[in-house]
Amino acid sequence: MEKKPFVTLEQVQEIVKTYPTPFHLYDEKAIRENARKVKQAFAWNPGFKEYFAVKATPTPRLLQILHEEGFGCDCSSYTELMMSKACGITGHDIMFSSNVTPDQDFKLASDLDSIINFDDITHLDYYDKVGEWKDTMSCRYNPGGDFVLENEIMDTPQEAKYGMTREQLAQAFNIMKEKGVKHFGIHAFLASNTVANEYYPALARILFQTAVELQKETGVHISFINLSGGVGIPYKPWQEPNDIMAIGEGVRRAFEEVLVPAGLGDISIYTEMGRYILGPYGALITKCIHHKHTHKEYVGLDACAANLMRPAMYGAYHHITVLGKEDALRDRTYDVTGGLCENNDKFAIDRNLPRIDIGDYIYIHDTGAHGFSMGYNYNGKLRSAEVLLKEDGSTELIRRAETPEDYFATFDFTGLFSENK
């Protein structure tokens, strides 16, 4: 698969006249088209709803765009709940899935009438003291063991800190029923960033069978099953992308084979994708500002790991395009670096690229999810702006770049530099 930027050099040269690099850029047209395709893939299920994982890209304008397309918010913290509320997203348009949850988070989730998804059975007693029991609530399931797909271990749920055991799930449902809960949900996340059309259908079968068993054991009404996230994107150009239509069809077959015969054909399917929804439709736009010729050839950018942590933290691959040189021969080998005082501040190591000149604009692909959101202020680096490329080709600043005033805003300098010091 060839990776192509969604902007040209000429477009970026125009954008930087208003917004200097680095900045994250998002493609509104592609975001909306992808959202509609996701809904189409699951249109066979009347109650289907996608709850976008706010942690992936906590940017109000993007949440509003997705809400306009019928998506809700998957929140996991107090401030994510606040952001959703500020965007006009409340009630059952919020799924609150958290862990080690503070009481103020539970209380706000309760006040907003969101669907609360309990991570642990001990949280039920804790919640009882701070929140109100609702008609519709959910529990997170962790089946343990390894999650195997086509004889390959995709992930190891038994090592994950999330979710309840099967026995705890039944106990939790019975406790919640006594508290007055009438409609129940089951949620699970068993593998991250899968590029395999079989993941969701395989997960669905596990949860569908669990739902059938729990309904018989507890007598509760199971109203939804949440497949959570895990549907990934092809960061590397040689990877095949997921086919969301095939994924939706695979889940439908499992639904028809497991739930319908058990009389549970009214269950709604929920998802909580982040990476698949926005990942490919964001890019980090940065500029080459230095060269270094020592034991290796280095290209220094005006962005750093503070703008995109994944390569430094995980060794993750992000494809790189030198704008204006898309068709040039990749006959140079570079380490592409930022300016942090950390040796892992590298966007690419030994990457074959065209010749990069100082002043060239660099397009780092697939930063639309877990890109800006993982930014930080190490070395006093300031978070960049976020810019929306609108459907009509114009741009909108959807988050301004931080300033030194922002960085120092939490300090009290009163008397710090007085004459007596």
The residue-averaged pLDDT of 66-72 equals 98
Q: Whole-angstrom Cα distance, residue 308 to residue 284?
A: 8
Q: Interior CA angle at 60 toward 59 and 64, to 5°? A: 125
Which pLDDT band, with edges at 50, 70 and 90, does 421 fall under? very low
- Whole-number pLDDT of residue 420: 47
Read off φ and ψ for residue 96, nearest 5 degrees.
-105, 105
Q: Does residue 145 register a pLDDT over 90?
A: no
Predicted TM-score of the model (pTM): 0.95
Using CB atoms within 10 A of its CB, is residue 146 exposed (0-12), middle (13-18) or buried (19+)?
middle
Share of the chain above pLDDT 70, in %: 96
The CATH superfamily assigned to 280-408 is Lyase, Ornithine Decarboxylase; Chain A, domain 1 (2.40.37.10)
Average of per-residue pLDDT across 60-75: 98
Could you tell me where the DSSP H helices lie in 47-186?
Answer: 60-68, 78-86, 103-111, 122-128, 166-178
pLDDT digits (tens, 9 = 90+) for 330-339: 999 999 999 9
Q: Which of 41, 89, 83 is nearest to 68 (CA)?
A: 89
Q: What is the pLDDT of residue 154?
A: 63
Q: Which of 90, 7, 62 is nearest to 399 (CA)?
A: 62
Report how far apart the first and last C-alpha atoms of the chain are (Å, whole number).
Answer: 62
> Residue 191's pLDDT band (boundaries 50, 70, 90)?
confident
Nearest C-alpha neighbor of 242 from the set 272, 202, 200: 200
Query: So what's the pLDDT on residue 416?
Result: 53
Q: Write down the architecture of domain 29-277 according to CATH.
A: Alpha-Beta Barrel (3.20)
How does pLDDT run across 13-54, given as a tens digit for each residue?
999 999 999 999 999 999 999 999 999 999 999 999 999 999
Spatial CA neighbour of 6 closest among 236, 233, 279? 279
Residues of the chain within CATH 3.20.20.10 domain(s) are 29-277
Q: Distance (Å, rounded) from C-alpha 251 to C-alpha 243?
A: 13
pLDDT at 146 over 90: no
Model confidence pLDDT, tens digit, residues 283-339: 999 999 999 999 999 999 999 999 999 999 999 999 999 999 999 999 999 999 999
Stretch(es) of the chain classified as CATH 2.40.37.10: 280-408
- Helix, strand, coil percentages, rounded to 5, for the chain: 35, 25, 45
Taking each helix axis from N to C terminus, what angle separates 244-254 and 28-41, rounded to the nearest 10 degrees? 20
Contact 5, 367 (CB under 8 A): no
8-state DSSP, 128? H
